[in-house]
């Protein structure tokens, strides 16, 4: 734990956390608990949030992020609103800090690219907080696809909806779709060729609360993402349909997150007449593999510390953060233009 003897050893990474609103405290808890991490300083503009964190962990706090930059922390986790990521991350990189920046990496691709370039120039670790890439269920699904268990992947459907939380500075696309986009890129191990998106702002003027996104990947793979802050049910589900098997990953399920359906359709290789032609449907077993229940954010934070320690490139590095932001930017452009198809650069 935070003040244990283990924490004081030579290898401990001195960590600072910037932003303790909704998400920051989850990072703080993890960096407080993980052995090998030495949580030194927490920064937020709001004194009441700092007081809350100080009461919980007895950690040093500050309202001035310059203090964090001038401190001896080696690594900073940034969990402030998206519009502030670029400025704060660039300042941290200038100060030679390794950084973990919450998703989405930046508010646009130009900013994300500059962050990647500066991190590379300075030899600093830049990691994007794509939490789902550290989710054991996503990892399991990725292995199934890579090992050819599903056959040829046909299409993927991702739904991430519930009532709220309405954001003031970004629309639902930038708030929720980074998760599904990063999952898709990770699962399929490829980048989409094009994207189109449609959305509506029903509650807050000018801020879309519902969006439907379609992505075209190489190999004729299609994916669609449905994100909404305006839905009666909390759904966090991804379906992958392959030629051999189909998988449903339901993140709301407490334990049985993945179900593998040995279902499919076979087309007869040859038939002379319409009467002879008939599809054969296969209804096989449904299996539910045992998946580790370790908290994905804990795995992510451990990985960040490991990268800081060993200088390895993070799984969700700055470039993967940039890819996600570029796709979001193309989707936003499509959203503003009635759903027209946009090339992903
Ligand atoms: N990985 C995930 O699953 C996940 C989940 C939720 C949010 N997030 C991300 O976390 C980030 C923060 O989201 P949130 O919901 O916690 O936002 P929030 O508004 O609840 O909290 C942000 C905090 O940052 C502070 N802040 C803003 N500017 C600051 C500055 N210059 N110096 C110090 N503190 C500053 C604010 O006072 C606030 O307390 C966003 O990028 C969001 O997308 C990630």
- The DSSP letter of residue 312 is P
Predicted confidence band of residue 267 (pLDDT cuts 50, 70, 90): confident
Query: Relative to the CA of 101, which ligand 1 atom is closest?
Result: 41
Query: CB under 8 Å to 55, separation ≥6 — which residues?
Result: none
18 lines ligand 1 (CB under 6 A): yes
Comparing 1-10, 118-127, 178-187, the range with the smallest average pLDDT is: 1-10
Query: Relative to the CA of 175, which ligand 1 atom is closest?
Result: 43
3-state class of 154 per DSSP? strand
Choose the residue to mutate in 44, 178, 300 for probing ligand 1, maximizing ligand atoms within 8 Å of C-beta.
44
235 lines ligand 1 (CB under 6 A): no
38 lines ligand 1 (CB under 6 A): no
Amino acid 266: pLDDT: 85
Asked whether residue 280 carries a pLDDT value surpassing 80, the answer given is yes
CA angle 293, 295, 296 (to 5 degrees): 110
Query: CB under 8 Å to 5, separation ≥6 — which residues?
Result: none
Amino acid 297: pLDDT: 98
21 lines ligand 1 (CB under 6 A): yes
Residue with tokens 């930017």: 329
129 lines ligand 1 (CB under 6 A): yes
Query: Relative to the CA of 84, which ligand 1 atom is closest?
Result: 28
- The DSSP letter of residue 155 is E
Amino acid 345: pLDDT: 84
Taking the centre of ligand 1 as the mean of its atom positions, its distance from the CA of residue 322, in whole angstroms, is 19
- The DSSP letter of residue 231 is E
160 lines ligand 1 (CB under 6 A): no
If phi > 0 it is left, if psi is from -120 to 50 it is alpha, else beta; for residue 311 that is left
What whole-number distance in Å separates Cα of residue 249 and Cα of residue 237? Answer: 6
Amino acid 226: pLDDT: 98
Query: Relative to the CA of 24, which ligand 1 atom is closest?
Result: 16
Amino acid 2: pLDDT: 41
Q: Are 181 and 103 in contact (CB under 8 A)?
A: no
Taking the centre of ligand 1 as the mean of its atom positions, its distance from the CA of residue 241, in whole angstroms, is 35
62 lines ligand 1 (CB under 6 A): no
Q: Are 240 and 225 in contact (CB under 8 A)?
A: no
65 lines ligand 1 (CB under 6 A): yes
Amino acid 250: pLDDT: 98
Amino acid 71: pLDDT: 98
Q: Are 261 and 247 in contact (CB under 8 A)?
A: yes
Taking the centre of ligand 1 as the mean of its atom positions, its distance from the CA of residue 160, in whole angstroms, is 20
341 lines ligand 1 (CB under 6 A): no
Q: What are phi and psi of 249, to 5 degrees?
A: -110, 115
Query: Relative to the CA of 174, which ligand 1 atom is closest?
Result: 43
Q: Are 134 and 297 in contact (CB under 8 A)?
A: yes
Q: What are phi and psi of 54, to 5 degrees?
A: -65, -40
Helix, strand, coil in percent for the chain, rounding step 5: 35, 30, 35
If phi > 0 it is left, if psi is from -120 to 50 it is alpha, else beta; for residue 140 that is alpha
Query: Relative to the CA of 65, which ligand 1 atom is closest?
Result: 32
What whole-number distance in Å separates Cα of residue 183 and Cα of residue 255? Answer: 19
Total residue count of the chain as it appears in this document: 345
Q: What are phi and psi of 162, to 5 degrees?
A: -175, -175
Predicted confidence band of residue 333 (pLDDT cuts 50, 70, 90): very high
316 lines ligand 1 (CB under 6 A): no
User: Structure tokens of 61?
Assistant: 């706090």
Asked whether residue 5 carries a pLDDT value surpassing 70, the answer given is no
103 lines ligand 1 (CB under 6 A): yes
């Amino acid at each position: 734990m935070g003040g244990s003897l283990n924490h004081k050893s030579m290898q401990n990474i001195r960590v600072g956390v910037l932003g303790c609103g909704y998400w920051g405290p989850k990072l703080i808890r993890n960096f407080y608990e993980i052995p090998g991490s030495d949580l030194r300083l927490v920064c937020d503009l709001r004194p009441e949030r700092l007081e809350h964190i100080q009461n919980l962990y007895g950690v040093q706090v500050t309202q001035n992020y310059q203090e964090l930059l001038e401190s001896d922390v080696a690594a900073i986790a940034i969990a402030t609103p998206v519009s502030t990521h670029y400025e704060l991350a660039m300042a941290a990189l200038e100060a030679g800090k390794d950084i973990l920046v919450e998703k989405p990496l930046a508010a646009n691709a130009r900013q994300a690219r500059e962050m990647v370039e500066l991190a590379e120039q300075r030899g600093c670790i830049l990691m994007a907080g794509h939490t789902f890439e550290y989710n054991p269920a996503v990892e399991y699904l990725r292995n199934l696809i890579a090992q050819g268990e599903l056959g040829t992947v046909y299409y993927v459907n991702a739904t991430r909806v519930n009532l709220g939380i309405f954001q003031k500075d970004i629309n639902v696309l930038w708030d929720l779709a980074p998760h599904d986009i990063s999952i898709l890129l990770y699962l399929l191990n490829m980048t989409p060729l094009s994207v189109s998106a449609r959305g509506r702002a029903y509650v807050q003027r000018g801020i879309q609360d519902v969006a439907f996104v379609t992505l075209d990947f190489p190999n004729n793979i299609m994916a669609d993402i449905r994100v909404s802050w305006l839905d009666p049910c909390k759904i966090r589900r991804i379906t992958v349909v392959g030629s051999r098997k189909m998988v449903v990953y339901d993140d709301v399920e407490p334990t049985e997150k993945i179900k593998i359906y040995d279902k499919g359709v076979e087309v007869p290789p040859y038939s002379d007449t319409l009467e002879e032609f008939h599809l054969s449907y296969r209804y096989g077993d449904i299996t539910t593999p045992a998946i580790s229940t370790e908290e994905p954010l804990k795995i992510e934070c451990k990985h960040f510390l490991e990268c800081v320690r060993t200088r390895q490139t993070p799984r969700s590095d700055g470039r993967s953060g940039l890819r996600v932001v570029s796709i979001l930017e193309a989707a936003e452009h499509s959203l503003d233009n009635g759903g027209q198809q946009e090339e992903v650069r």
